[in-house]
Each structure stands twice: as C-alpha cells, then as structure tokens.
Amino acid sequence: MNDSYVIDDRKARRNVAVLVAAQAIIGSQVTMVFVIGGLAGQMLAPNPCLATLPISMVVFGSMSTAPWLSPFMQRHGRVPGFTLGATGGLIGSAVAALAVATGNFWLLLVGSYLTGTYMSAQGFYRFAATDTASDAFRPKAISWVMAGGLLSALVGPQLVKVTENLTAAPFVGTYLAGAAITAAGMFLFLLLDLPKPRPMTRMEAPVARSVGELLRTPAIAVSVIVGAVSYALMNLVMTSTPLAVVGCGYTQGNAADIVSAHVLAMYAPSFVTGHVIARFGAVRVMATGLAILAAAGGVGLAGVELTNFFVALVLLGVGWNFGFIGATTLLTASYPPHERGRVQGMNDMIVFGAVTIASLASGGLMNCSGGNTVQGWSAVNIAMVPFLALAGAALIWLAMRPKGIRG
C-alpha cells in the first residue's frame, strides 16, 4: 500500500472533529458497560471471583480484534474498519441485554466479547487522527480525539442511572440503550475524509520488519510498555471500584458518580495534553503520568471514605491520560507509513492483552484475596507497584539513550 499523500491540517482538523463526535457518542456505550459490567457479572456469576469476567471479555475482545482489524483498515480503509467494529459493539450490547434478561452468565460473556470489537475500533480513532496530520499537529490531533471521551464520561454513567431499572431484570435497559447509541453514532463515519488505500506493486513494497525487530526498536518498545502499563493499571483499579464502593456500604449511584468523575479525569486533560507534549516532549509527559498513577494508588491505600475513592479515581484518570497519550504520540513517530497497520495492531494487541489480564486479576484481587472488601481493595492498589517500576525503568533507559538511536 502506498501511504503517500499531501499533509493537510485543514483536512486533519475536519477529521478530528468527526472522530471527537464519534468518541463522545458511541464511546458512551463503553462507559456504560464498564460501570455495570462488574455489577451484572456479580449478579449472574456462579462464583463471586468471576464478577469482573464480563469486563475482562470486553477487553479480551478488543485485544483479539486489534491484530486483524488494523491490517484490515490498512487494506480497505478506516471507515469500513470502524463500521465493522461498531456493528460488533451493537450486536454485543443486544446479546448482553438478552443474557441479563434470561439470567445467562455465559451468554453475557459472549455479548461482552462482541462489545470488545467496538472498543478495539475506537482505539484506532487516535491513530486515524494522525493519518492526515502534520508532525506538529499530530500530538494535538491525538489528544483532541481522546478529549471526545469527555462527553461520554458525562452521559454514560448518567444513562446508567436512568436505564438500570427500566426493566424487571436490572441493566437490560442499559445494554439496549448502548445498542441504540452505537447505531446512531455509526453514521458519523460517512463524514470522514481519509486517504484511500492503494495496493502496492511487488517492486514498491518495502521489506516488512518482524514483530521481534519492531519490539527491538527502543522507542516502539518503550511506547508499548508505558501504554500497556498505563492502560492496564487504570483498568485494574477502575474495574474493581464499583465493587469496592458498593462493598463498603455506599450506593450504586455513588459508584456511578465516582466512575463518572474518573472518566472525566481521563479525558478532560486531553484539551491540553497535546500542547504539553509539544512543549515538554512525550517522554516527560509519560513519566508524569506514571507518577500520578502511583499517587492514585497511595490515596486508595489511605482509606475507603467516599473522598478517597473520588480522589484516587480522578488521579487514576489523569495519570492514564498522560501515560497513554504520551505513549501513543511517541509510537506514531517511530515507524514509516508502510508499517502503520502492523505496528498499530501489534501495539493494541499487547496493550489490551495487558488490560485483559488486569481486568481478570481485578475480580480475584477484589473478591478473593482478603477477608473483606477493604483488604481486597488494598490488594488491588498494592498490585500497581511492580508494573509502575517496570514502566519507569523503561522510560529511564530510553531517556539515557542518544536521541539518534531511539527509533
């Protein structure tokens, strides 16, 4: 495929506006699923240790979709790929609604997995924002698209409150509302103006590097590590938060408000993150993100008052924003255009593989690692430490290398 085209930031800004709207509207479905997934799982699971498995299946669906969806988009274009992913999410929400209505935990896992195909497609919005962007506009394009999640943070949890008890079986209305939102938002993809793929001749096609060769590229390796750690730790704590909040005697409404504050903190900084990266560099911003994630764990360990939950989850969101957007920015500057699909698919497979493991571990740590909710919540926060140390060491290693040999 030949990815050569004229960089036009006017076109890039139009595409970013469409992607922001898609992130805001269809992204509400993902926020809703993460608010209710653990609670629906706890209601239906045959074992409390499996309560967060529906969320894990969403993330596993995203992980297993990324390796084929990214090359699909490189061959056929972003719009077909985004439409395919959103269709999977729509079907997944409908299947999950049926599962909860019939009390079938295993069918809920199937619906959750299908929902993950949309989560994977949504993850590529940030890369699509750079397809027509100049080097100078790239970090801003990424951060603005991520900022589209701000509206989903406001709308999603509030829709949970409105819809969770609309039917006899809790959460059926929530899943159906998610399907409706996805169906409506899919029409936005028709407004995208992105370069059309063109098959390359055998003479034009460069030699593709293997996965091992890509991961031996310092900037790519560190981008993947920091992105995976930032996202996995955010998911580890966020997934267990509704269980911890309700387990400590607070209401489901309190849990929804805390998750809403968390998702706001994930996306609100995106209005400035691109400018901060342009000013200070991706490596420094990633380091700041890891430090904020560590602070979130400290606040979580300090107590189980509502204030602790709110502050810890807000810090968790900001830390994720800096770590993940910084890692994405560094990654997009670390490969030539013909490797775009391969690198982006590999990155998201590894990132969401780590997130899948984290979400699986979340339920076990929360419900099965201690004698009560407080001990389980402490175990979740302590589990962050070794992974933050790994990502911090990787950043230090990259920073110590001469800039000319990082790529």
Residue 161 near residue 256, CB atoms below 8 Å? yes
Mean pLDDT score across all residues of the chain? 86
d(CA 149, CA 28): 8
CA atoms within a 13 Å half-sphere pointing along the CA-CB vector of 193: 13
31 burial level (CB within 10 Å; 0-12, 13-18, 19+) = buried
Q: What is the 3-state secondary structure (H, E, C) of the chain?
A: CCCCCCCCHHHHHHHHHHHHHHHHHCHHHHHHHHHHHHHHHHHHCCCHHHCCHHHHHHHHHHHHHHHHHHHHHHHHCHHHHHHHHHHHHHHHHHHHHHHHHHCCHHHHHHHHHHHHHHHHHHHCHHHHCCCCCCCCCHHHHHHHHHHCHHHHHHHHHHHHHHHCCCCCCCCHHHHHHHHHHHHHHHHHHHHCCCCCCCCCCCCCCCCCCCHHHHHCCHHHHHHHHHHHHHHHHHHHHHHHHHHHHHHCCCCHHHHHHHHHHHHHHHHCCHHHHHHHHHHHCHHHHHHHHHHHHHHHHHHHHHCCCHHHHHHHHHHHHHHHHHHHHHHHHHHHCCCCHHHHHHHHHHHHHHHHHHHHHHHHHHHHHHHHCCCCHHHHHHHHHHCHHHHHHHHHHHHHHHHHCCHHHCC
Indicate the pLDDT class of residue 109, thresholds 50, 70 and 90. very high
Confidence of residue 198 (pLDDT cuts 50, 70, 90): low
Six token digits for residue 148 = 């589209």
- Domain spanning 9-196+211-405: which superfamily? MFS general substrate transporter like domains (1.20.1250.20)
Q: How confident is the model at residue 291 (pLDDT cuts 50, 70, 90)?
A: very high
Q: How confident is the model at residue 1 (pLDDT cuts 50, 70, 90)?
A: very low
pLDDT value at position 295?
97
- Per-range mean pLDDT, top range of 56-60, 252-256, 393-397: 393-397
Write a three-state SS string for 283-345: HHHHHHHHHHHHHHHHHHHHCCCHHHHHHHHHHHHHHHHHHHHHHHHHHHCCCCHHHHHHHHH
Instruction: Tell which residue, 66, 64, 44, 47, has the closest CA to residue 56.
Output: 64
pLDDT tens readout for residues 127-158: 888 888 888 888 888 888 888 877 777 788 78
- For the chain, the structural domain boundaries read 9-196+211-405
Q: Is the pLDDT of residue 401 over 70?
A: yes
pTM for the model? 0.77
- List, for residues 255-288, the tens digit of each pLDDT value: 878 987 897 898 889 888 888 998 999 999 999 9
Contacts of 45 by beta carbon, 8 Å cutoff, 6+ apart? 51, 53, 105
